[in-house]
A and B are shown apart, each in its own frame.
Chain A
Amino acid sequence: MSRKVRLEIDGKQVEAEEGMTILQAARKAGIEIPTLCYNDQLEPYGACRICTVEIIKDGRKRYVVSCVYPVEEGLKVRTDSEEIRKIRKTLLELMLPLAPASGPLKELAEKYGARANRFQAEPTACILCGLCVRYCAEVKKANAICFIGRGTERQVAFVPEVAPYECPSCRQCYSLCPGGKIVEAESQGLLSMPITQKVARKP
């Protein structure tokens, strides 16, 4: 039995179990925090930063991502404020140029008033949330899809030695993808492409 931890989220007293994240505790208490790269079957990844919340610790205000930050006794959390909304808005404005057609992004953009064309478009239909890569590695243990490249060159690619054999009979990651990239990639026959070939290439 894990220990109980009491914390305050948006002024509400919340009881959580030690080892839980702020996100899990909030959801359990019925408080919604937006997420994009989070999936409860997978290790927290902390890439999209959309779940950013504010915590007060040692009297100081700090922003943390709720999908990674573990609950602490007496922690004070705010999941919504003008600053948080602005951070989420800018984050969405940075992701929209990548995947302007993404349903989850459009929905959040509407909520936070994010403009789709504030930044230069570079549509790849992929926001590099890593859900497919991590699902394939952590749940399926198949490692048929992976990241290649670093920094702004980073992209997702099928592993040619594995993908053609594993993917056609699985396709479980398709429904996870917020950008719609995987479906598109397979329909274009990219499963057997060499790893250096851009999957998330510009349409």
Chain B
Amino acid sequence: MKVRSPEDLEKLRREILARKKPDRPVIAVCVSTGCSALGARRVVEALREELKKHGLEDKVEIKETGCMGFCELGPRLIIYPQEIPYFKVKPEDASEIVEKTILKGEPVEKLFYTDPATGEKIRKLEEIPFYKYQVRLLLENNAKIDPKNIEDYIALGGYKALAKALTQMTPEQVLEEVKKANLRGRGGGGFPAGVKWETTKNAPGEPKYVIVNCDEGDPGAFMDRTLMEGNPHSVLEGLIIGAYAIGAKEGFIYVREEYPTAVENIATAIRQAEEYGFLGENIMGSGFSFRVKIHRGAGAFVSGESSALMSAIEGKVGEPRPKYIHTAVRGIWNKPSCLNNVETWANVPLIILKGADWFKSIGTAGSSGTKIFSLVGKVNNTGLVEVPMGITLRDLIYKIGGGIRGGKRFKAVQTGGPSGGFIPEKYLDLPVDFDELTKVGSMMGSGGMIVMDEDTCIVDVTRYYIDFLSSESCGKCVPCREGLKQALNILNRICNGQGKAEDLETLEDLCEVLRAASLCALGTTAANPIATSLKYFRDEYEAHIFEQRCPAKVCKALTAYYINPEKCQACMICLRNCPVKAISGEKDIVHVIDQEKCIRCGVCFQVCPFNSVEKYSPPTPPPARYGIKVKRVKKGEKGGA
């Protein structure tokens, strides 16, 4: 059916709701990447089998949804209407779920989340610390929607914002509302979306284009993928509203090739939106017409940069352009083109529906709304989290993230993807918003957040990111191509114990030239990891250069392995696992590492059940003698703990 007016939409919504029956049980199973990898598909099959067995296949709906968050505890599942959240569900659990929860309304205790602190089972999602401090405006519907079914989205009030914009607001009023809400770009620099829309709207030239940036080139980030896979209509609705405000008749959705499900789900969403009349000619009788095409990109990191992305849509090499004229004025085929990130667009329907004042009531004065982060690294709880802007890093890491894994000490958090900066412990109480992160030398970026503990060597991770950025440089301009290459040479040398006194100044000069002279933001922001590591962790560089010491005992050239004769139980495990046979030993005789042969792979350190292998940096362990008799430790004293 075609929806031709807001009244049509409301009628349709009621019909859908009536068909759905509110008390009808729904088992929502997350089948997105994370949970699928853990076997969610098999859980779905087992549940279907089980329902069939009980003759319930028509009475209970199984909904295959996008990501619900907390992926490491997947497969995830929520049973409605009671909203019972289950974790780590296995196919074997299907019968119990159907027999107990579906038929009798009883919970399956073992599938609840266990609080690691108290050991208690938690029955409500919003009481689990990981969720408790989140504000999931954009992500919450993921658990309620089958992304391939537009009716699920409509049932939750989807396309109401579009109806409102088209029938009750002029394009100018829509623009004003977004400007007033101070929605800032979620994909990069935090540029105010409304201001960019206005630029494109007022720029000379027709046609004008609107574009969704779903390149998401940051390794390890999946906020945009999650929205595109789990709730594609929210992005699409935002885009259509933006097109109306700007006066664009055509839009592009740029999705990286590596996201086949996102491509599939957004393609389905576009088809359904056309069928229902939310796309195409004369949308909801407003006279406004709009079409969308999908562009599948090769997914290089630099392709996400605005001018590179537009070149790619034109069919050219996806390389940044040297122009100083913004793509909002001259973008695709030199026409005004407004590019926003997936998450930016997804915020738009909420703003139109609930108003700019509501939006501004969330977050900080300078940064309104929520932000989705991909919280990973050495925290206990990892995954996508959506938080109000202004939450402190400490709350994010300790309350939501559950603190540092293994009780280790926090060292740094890197925000903003590979070209973000490292933020040290003294700034843990920093409120997370665009401006505060920039002030300390990092950035919001698209929302990467990597937590590092005391076992991380800052010089080594800096080297890792510069290696990534250097290999992702398009190679056009000298500061980025040559500067990053030489910075990498220097960092490699420092990690190899061949650092020189002048290296730190040279790295600083490279940061300066990267920032001042790079052609695009890949180069200018690539200075962040170097500059912040030099600023906040200079002592680590100095230890490497002047003392031949890696404080975290990570850099191979500066770390030696040594078997503590007091702890070794002569179990022969390290000896058998050493890939170069550098360990000698026999029954009852303390094992000894031949430092000449040792390649410092650390296998012995990992496999020793008695924690008797120790790391030394500088790499000068005490002299080892062969033939020492083992000192037996009593049971229960194992591991030197």
Contacts and interface: CB of A to CB of B under 8 A. Distances in A.
Nearest to B479: A49
Interface string B467-482: 0001111111111011
B145 to A, nearest CB: 39
B438 interface: no
B37 to A, nearest CB: 30
Q: State the main secondary structure of chain B at its contact with A.
A: helix
Interface stretch (A149-157, A158-166, A168-176, A186-194): A149-157
Interface in A66-124: 68-70, 83, 86-87, 90-91, 94-95, 97-98, 118-120
Interface stretch (A4-12, A39-47, A195-203): A39-47
A23 interface: no
B470 A151 contact: yes
B474 A95 contact: no
Interface residues of B, number: 31
Interface stretch (B412-420, B510-518, B595-603, B608-616): B510-518
A172 B474 CA distance: 27
Interface in B586-641: none
A145 interface: no
A127 interface: yes
Indicate the size class of the contact surface on chain A.
20 to 34
Given A63-B517, A120-B489, A90 B475 contact: no
A118 B506 contact: yes
Contacts of A52: 516-517
Contact of A49 (B470, B477, B484): B477
Nearest to B473: A151
Contacts, number: 94
B322 A68 contact: yes
A119 B324 contact: no
Given A90-B509, A128-B481, A120 B519 contact: no
A76 B121 CA distance: 66
Nearest to B483: A94
Interface in B151-210: none
Interface of A: 44-50, 52, 63-65, 68-70, 83, 86-87, 90-91, 94-95, 97-98, 118-120, 127-128, 149-154
23 contacts: A44-B322, A46-B476, A47-B476, A47-B478, A49-B519, A50-B478, A63-B516, A65-B517, A68-B324, A69-B324, A90-B510, A90-B512, A91-B513, A91-B517, A94-B479, A94-B483, A98-B482, A118-B506, A128-B481, A150-B474, A151-B474, A152-B473, A152-B484
Given A151-B470, A151-B473, 11 more contacts: A44-B322, A46-B322, A47-B519, A49-B519, A90-B512, A90-B513, A94-B479, A97-B486, A151-B471, A152-B485, A154-B481
